[in-house]
Structure 1
Amino acid sequence: MDAKDWPGEASAVSTVRFEIEDRDARLPLVCRYPAEGQAKGIVVFCHGLGGHGGDHVELSTFLASHGYLVIHPTFPDGTAALAAAARELGFAPDGPEVSKWIIFPPLRDRMFQILHTPHYWMERIRIVAAVMDNLAAIQAKTIGASSTPLPAAIAGHSFGAYTSQLLTGAEIDMPGEGPRSFRDRRFAAAVLLSGQGRGQQGLREGSWEAMDGAVLTVTGTLDGGAKGQDWNWKTEPFHHAPAGDKYLAVLHEADHFLGGMTDNDPTPGHPAQREAVSMLTLAFLDAHLADDEKARAWLTALDDRIADWPAQFMRK
């Protein structure tokens, strides 16, 4: 199959913000979707530690322009929520500093405490479940009802990739509880952008043995973990998962932000790296949600470059 006509023309994108019921509170969502035509799938995108639902605009818009309803919840581990709750830190919730929390030691230290606190892991799982439970209402406000259920993927960056791993079958050891699985079969595929390996947040040897769905793992040679791990640690979800529709991309000289996808990236970013991530993510979704043979051919043809950026690419 020739992939030269893939991915086709991009369409206009609509963006809406609204809230859904979540227990006794309201859960804010940012949704992007094609302004015209039928959506071919749904992506629930999980922001990283300290982020928010308005993040990852470029990638989200790209996916929406090629046929996906992309849903962005905001989780309680955002820096705005922390700044509001911990006024003693001296940061305004809407101040410019909170988006760059990684370069401010008081914020960074508190955020890393949150990262390793199981309550916040579980809040993310619960909120994603609330999104999926309310899909009919979300579709009514965006793409409209579909005659048949649309396939869905879970995706995320950093802490969001951790959330995505759990929902696609990675098992963790919960402190005081033992092994737990949070697999949600409503997701047919997962995208892990700068995810985690063993020895952190309950992940350990054997965590990925039941991760049997389609999974894309992406990192870069300048990436690293919160405890000082190098980029090889970021590849463990690929290497330790069973074979079958698993993909790994390692972008040359890309750091944790993979070209600058987020508001809290302290570096200038790199457009060609972001393009590589966008194209690869779309090809993976088209192949495994939309069953697009041209997207599969594009993935099959990948070798040492993705879009216009050098990379290592593996599949199994």
Structure 2
Amino acid sequence: MTDRSPAPIVSVKPLVLDAPGRGTDLHVRVSAPVVGDALPILVFSHGFGWSLDGYAPLTDHWAAHGFVVIQPTYLDSRRLAIPADDPRTPTIWRQRVQDVKHAIDQLDRVEAAVPGLQGRLDRSRIVAAGHSFGSQTTAVLLGARVLDADGTPGEDLSDPRVQAGVLLAPAGTGGDDLTPFAAEHFPFMNPSFETLTTRALVVVGDHDDSPLTVRGPDWMTDPYTLSPGADALLTLFDGEHSLGGISGYEVAETTDESPERVAFLRHHVLAYLRSALDPEDASWPDARSALTANPSPLGRIDTQ
């Protein structure tokens, strides 16, 4: 399992973008290969508490293989230390989605901020990915909605500019599937996936036992089983919530550290996104075929 030869990358941080009404500057990190033209754009959403400095095992790899990766720091970041009683706290999940849209709105500034990037973006090819809380952000961009207290789907916050997405260790359905603590403290964890119509890959660990649900690891597969858009599910054998350590190199919160699992994940995500953006690109079917032929695979792929 190998990807094409990686290119050197350049990263710029923090790039400060306009975000009216946010109350705090929107800082993003931009990483891009130093070679190549017509580069697609990937907006990556971190998990709860992280920042633009996280997830280098993924984002550096994807940048080195042809994507311009934009990483916002969201209001829930530990770096910002916004208190729980801040009036913005209940709607941080919505602000996350708006932050992605602000970043896409300002691609001129993104392009100008990175040395050598001018004129090399392909703005017609935009994808999104996210881990944990970031997967909810991505799912909403793809069409998922948060149900109101009466079960009515809330506002459609999707963005048609995002052509495909990847949900890493996403949350499943709410209601009775949540623990009492999650139901009380996270009312936005009540999604409907029926309107998630944009193409998506869902990635889960089969040992990801979340403290937020009364169900087991299958809870994480709900976006795949319940949405019309998610057409592939990648299950990582023995993977827990950190999926082998994707949030950073040697981070303390990783409970299932496995560089091999991380490499396996990022390879298959890259293959999926390449084919999603270009139907003539055989990266995804080739990766699926190679996995089928592997006598000792690190995971499996289901499709629908």
TM-score by length of 2: 0.83
Distance 1:231 1:268, change over 3 A: closer
Supply the distance in 2 between the matched residues of 1:81 and 1:29 (Cα, whole angstroms).
13
Change beyond 3 A, Cα 1:307–1:220: farther
Aligned to 1:280: 268
SS of 1:71's equivalent in the other structure is strand
Which amino acid letter does the alignment assign opposite residue 188 of structure 1? Q
2:272 counterpart letter in structure 1:
F
Give yes or no for contact 1:155–1:164 (8 Å, CA) kept in 2: yes
**1: CA distance, partners of 2:3 / 2:246:** 21
The residue that corresponds to 1:10 in the other structure is 6
Q: Does 1:45 align with 2:41?
A: no
**Alignment-derived partner of residue 20 in structure 1:** 17
Q: Does 1:294 align with 2:282?
A: yes
1:107-256 map, 5 Å:
118-142=90-114, 143-146=117-120, 149-175=123-149, 178-180=152-154, 181-199=156-174, 201-202=187-188, 207-228=192-213, 229-242=215-228, 246-256=231-241
Q: Give the residue type in structure 2 aligned to 1:289.
A: L
> Could you report, residue by residue, the CA deviation over 1:57-114 in whole angstroms, capped at 9, with x for unpaired residues?
01101100110000000001012222xx55xxxxxxxxxxxxxxxxxxxxxxx7xx99
Equivalent-residue separation in structure 2 for 1:310 and 1:256 (angstroms): 16
Offset at residue 282 of structure 1 (A) = 0.3
Aligned equivalents of 1:295, 1:311: Cα separation in 2 = 17
Q: Which amino acid aligns with 1:172?
A: V
Secondary structure at the residue paired with 1:235?
helix
User: Is 1:155–1:161's contact at 8 Å kept on the other side of the alignment?
Assistant: yes
Structure 2 residue matching 1:81: 3-state secondary structure:
coil
For 1:45 and 1:221, locate their aligned partners in 2 and report how far apart those are by CA, in whole Å: 23
Cα deviations by residue, 1:166-214 (Å, 9 ceiling, x for unpaired): 1101122145894222111010001000001101654658x22222221
Who is 1:97 aligned against? none
1:158, CA displacement in angstroms? Answer: 0.3
For the 8 Å contact 1:214–1:245, the answer to whether it is kept is yes
3-state SS of 2:159 partner = coil
Deviation at 1:159, TM superposition (A): 0.2
Contact 1:247 1:315 in 2 (8 A): yes
Helix, strand or coil at the partner of 2:60: helix
CA change 1:210–1:67 in 2 (3 A) is same
Q: Distance in 2 between matches of 1:226 and 1:19?
A: 35
Aligned-partner Cα distance in 2 for 1:284–1:266: 25
Partners of 1:304 and 1:310 within 8 A in 2: no
SS of the residue corresponding to residue 119 of structure 1 reads: helix
Structure 2 unpaired stretches of 5+: 179-186
Give the structure, 1 or 2, with the largest relative contact order (CA under 8 Å, sep 6 or more): 1
**249-258 vs 22-31, which moves further:** 22-31
Q: Is the 8 A contact 2:204 2:243 kept in 1?
A: yes
Give the C-alpha shift of residue 118 in structure 1: 3.7
Distance 2:294 2:202 in 1: 14
Q: Give how far 1:302 is off.
A: 5.1
Q: Is the 8 A contact 1:219 1:234 kept in 2?
A: yes
Q: CA separation of 1:121/1:176 partners in 2, compared to 1, >3 Å: closer, same or farther?
A: farther
Instruction: Tell me how far apart the structure 1 counterparts of residues 124 and 53 of structure 2 sit (CA, whole Å).
Output: 23
* Matched-pair contact (CA < 8 Å) for 2:32–2:67: yes
Instruction: List alignment gaps of at least 5 residues for structure 1.
Output: 87-109
**1:88-144: CA deviation from partner (whole Å, max 9, x where unpaired):** xxxxxxxxxxxxxxxxxxxxxx7xx99xx6411111012111111111211222322
